[in-house]
């Protein structure tokens, strides 16, 4: 990738397949500072895609560990004062080492304390920001001193906010029935839409959180964060479709989804990926 | 409901069905301050019954969030000093706003520190107290300055203790092979027994914790806490019966139970609910 | 067992079967101070083998609770300052009461802060130390003032380190494709190898953590820690084989494994256990 982390070209299926093969081959160490609801499911999901999870999130160890991790995930779902201290240390170290880190701004915009934490962490320049539309709009509103949380917003409605957040991060995505992923290619901002998935995904807790962690795993091995983020969304959407075919409700879907994250390979990606042609958004 | 929260009549199947339809229609936001074992299972269980879970349990945010939640669950399973501070703030705000909150007094009576916390929280007047028989007896013993924890007590043995706790809460239940639910109808105290369930329920951790959270979800939408609590026990018992028919052990039961919580509707409730005719307990 | 906790003879299949029957019959209370990833899975796994889990890990209650527990597990996966304080109190009380406790030194050797905690806790004399080869080597290196973490080490490579740790604990094991369990019989150190298991075990998070907890459960009922540790490894390996036959990936394996931990009985143990003849290691 170029010096500023922009992609050589808009990521497509071939790049996603290459990233998935690299993820399996390298098994990167992914440090997660995440919420208490997601820990077990996230660790199992990371193992399923081929990464090696480590939930090191205390202030005593988080900074040092970020220096040896392949990527770092910071998820603001259930922050505590001590965990926030660990997040500061881990993201500072990640930036110093050039290690990619992902910010998942859960409920940012709606809750002032964690919103201030999110804005503070932006100084350490995440490679990727991933959230639902409301969170992306909420974080962008905070970043510009403005406002605007809309919990009913679809992913397309978050594109202007995601564009604004590209001043802080190299790639930004908003999850929805169709995921919207933005990144920079040369001097242009490009939008890639990833369709697929399942209506059962939002019926299982921490699936969005896991997607952020999978994006971190891909960021550890992909040529640039934009490619990593498109690959994570695609792997996720394909696995969700496979799992939905075997599920009889949200409980069995969660189990089948872990099986499917593991089963996804280049053949299933090529057969089932629904990555739309990239479109220009701005410069 | 009347000014003191008492029910217009003893809750029966028609009330449970109406509450279940309201829960699906409204999807209330349920704030959970709960133990570390239960978080993921509780969030998934709340999603399955149609509620929207939010595990906001830090002192910085819990009070404010209780002001926007539809109901609050406080579970004393693995309290920390910081979480207890958050519980104080959330229950104070819930009381101030008239938002129903549920107390699940895990291991109260057996452990002095959390027992003091439980007694302190009673001042903020929970709508509902739900526990196993030992916990209900334990909490009642503390509340009256007495003692008496009997870990072998059946739910029927907890009826006098539950009756005593109605000075602190609007509805109280003790879980067991037959659940015992007490509430006030006009000037009478009424007992409603809910049968069903499965012997596999106590073989899966945090099922009782989840029941407390489901009671909070129903309390956000039902006409009164007594109706909400009977509805939660009934929904739970019916789902457990459905799940047991598909399970080959506690692992597969937990998965099938989440599927069944989602699948339960007015037809299955009407077909499978086993709500005994109410009996008078005292005044 | 003898005064120093050594076994009367090297544990074999008959001892494992007897221990498993005792576990089912007694249902011991096992206190777990464990990492945030493992809590739910560990509690469910303990329930499945017939124990009664209690995750009491705050400084206000952990010491007192260790006085009434049948055994205590200390797992260093995601330690916090408060949890470490609770670990100190619980292990001190366990030692004072003669209650067996298990140390699972997750990532010890690689991370200095928790490594110091592990060395400090050794003073309270765990009955059992269980880890993967790297952790056993790492902890032994710290204990002797030396060094030596090898994350690629197989379980056999950890035998010298496990031998060294027998100055601190009564039985020590290193997990791997073939588990290596060391203990003392009279004045001899004996190695028992337990084969079986499944390649899916390390693909599910917290399975190793759960094994430590199951070892604690067995330690509460077995005649000595060496027998308890061989029984836990054997129960685990047999359950994993049963589960793998029903699984289509890591998600369904985790569910089937909980079912299988529950289903294992003396017949399946006798049919499927692969306990090698004991070998002398040193004195």
d(CA C111, CA A96): 20
Q: Is the dihedral of CA C207, C209, C213, C216 positive or negative?
A: positive
Give the residue from B38, B96, B26, B20 showing the smallest Cα distance to B64.
B96
Strands A101-104 and A71-75: parallel
Closest CA relative to residue C109, chosen from C136, C83, C79, C74: C136
Of A91, A176, A187, A85, whose CA–CA distance to A130 is shortest? A176
Interface test with C, best of A40, A80, A244, A254 (most C CBs within 10 A): A40
Residue B148 has pLDDT above 50, yes or no: no
pLDDT value at position B154? 82
Is A215 in contact with A172 (CB distance < 8 Å)? no
pLDDT band at A6 (very low <50, low <70, confident <90, very high): confident
pLDDT at residue C153 greater than cutoff 80: no
Inter-chain CB proximity B205 and C53 less than 8 Å: yes
Q: Locate the chain A residue with the closest alpha carbon to C83.
A: A58
pLDDT of C204 strictly over 70: yes
Report how far residue C51's alpha carbon sits from residue C27's, in angstroms, rounded to the nearest whole number: 4
Give the mean pLDDT of chain B.
94
Structure confidence by residue, pLDDT tens digits, C72-82? 999 999 999 99
C40 touches B at CB < 8 Å = yes
Cβ neighbours of residue C277 under 8 Å, at least 6 residues apart? none
Which residues, including other chains, have CB under 8 Å from residue A123's CB and lie 6 or more apart?
none
Q: What is the ipTM of this complex?
A: 0.95
Q: Taking CB atoms and an 8 Å limit, are B53 and A80 in contact across chains?
A: no
C85 vs B: CB within 8 A: no
**Closest chain C residue by Cα to residue A47:** C203
pLDDT tens digit string along B238-252? 999 999 999 999 999
Q: Which of C36, C81, C203 sits opposite A36 (nearest CB)?
A: C36
Q: Which residues contact B183 (CB under 8 A, 6 or more apart)?
A: B6, B7, B10, B11, B166, B170, B171, B172, B189, B190, B192, B224, B225, B226, B229, B230
User: Tens digits of per-residue pLDDT, B74-96?
Assistant: 999 999 999 999 999 999 999 99
pLDDT tens digits, one per residue of B11-54: 999 999 999 999 999 999 999 999 999 999 999 999 999 999 99
Q: What is the model's pLDDT at position C149?
A: 37
Which residues of C are less than 8 Å from B204 in CB distance? Answer: 44, 47
Residue indicated by tokens 């260790």: C66
pLDDT at A236 over 50: yes
* Tokens of residue C161, six digits: 């380190």
Looking at chain C, the whole-number percentage of residues with pLDDT higher than 90 is 90
Instruction: Identify the three-state secondary structure at position C58.
Output: coil
- CB of A70 within 8 A of CB of A28? yes
Q: Considering only A98-102, A191-195, B183-187, C256-260, which range has the smallest mean pLDDT?
A: B183-187
How many angstroms separate the CA of residue B243 from the nearest CA in chain C? 14
The answer to whether B36 faces chain C, any CB pair under 8 Å, is yes
Per the prediction, chain C carries an average pLDDT of 94
Q: What was the pLDDT predicted at B142? A: 75
Please indicate if any CB of chain B lies within 8 Å of the CB of A256: no
Beta bridge partners of A188: A185
| C7 secondary structure, DSSP code | B
Band (A283; pLDDT cuts 50, 70, 90):
low
Q: How do beta strands C188-195 and B188-194 pair?
A: unpaired
Instruction: Please indicate if any CB of chain B lies within 8 Å of the CB of C156.
Output: no
Q: Is A133 exposed, middle or buried (0-12, 13-18, 19+ CB in 10 A)?
A: buried
Query: Which residues from chain A sit within 8 angstroms of residue C39, using beta carbons?
Result: 40
């Amino acid at each position: 990738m170029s010096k500023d982390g922009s992609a050589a070209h808009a990521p497509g299926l071939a790049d996603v397949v290459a990233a998935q093969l690299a993820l399996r081959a390298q098994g990167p160490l992914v440090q997660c500072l995440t919420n208490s609801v997601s820990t077990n499911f996230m660790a199992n999901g990371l193992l399923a895609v081929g990464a090696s999870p480590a939930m090191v999130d205390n202030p005593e160890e988080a900074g040092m560990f970020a220096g040896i991790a392949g990527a770092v995930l910071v998820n603001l779902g259930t922050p505590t004062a001590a965990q926030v201290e660990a997040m500061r240390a881990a993201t500072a170290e990640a930036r110093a080492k050039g290690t990619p880190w992902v910010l998942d701004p859960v409920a940012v915009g709606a809750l002032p304390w964690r919103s201030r934490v999110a804005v503070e962490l932006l100084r350490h320049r995440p490679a990727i920001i991933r959230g639902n539309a409301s969170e992306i709009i909420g974080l962008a509103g905070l970043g510009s001193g403005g406002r605007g949380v809309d919990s009913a917003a679809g992913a397309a409605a978050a594109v202007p906010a995601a564009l604004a957040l590209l001043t802080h991060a190299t790639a930004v995505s908003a999850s929805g029935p169709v995921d919207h992923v933005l990144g920079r290619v040369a001097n242009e901002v490009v939008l890639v839409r990833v369709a697929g998935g399942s209506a059962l995904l939002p019926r299982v807790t921490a699936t969005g959180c896991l997607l952020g962690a999978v994006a971190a795993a891909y960021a550890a091995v992909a040529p640039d964060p934009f490619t990593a983020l498109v690959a994570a969304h695609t792997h996720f959407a394909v696995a969700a479709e496979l799992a939905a075919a075997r599920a009889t409700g949200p409980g069995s879907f969660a189990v089948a989804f872990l099986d499917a994250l593991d089963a996804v390979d280049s053949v299933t990606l090529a057969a089932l990926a629904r990555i739309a042609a990239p479109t220009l958004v701005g410069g």
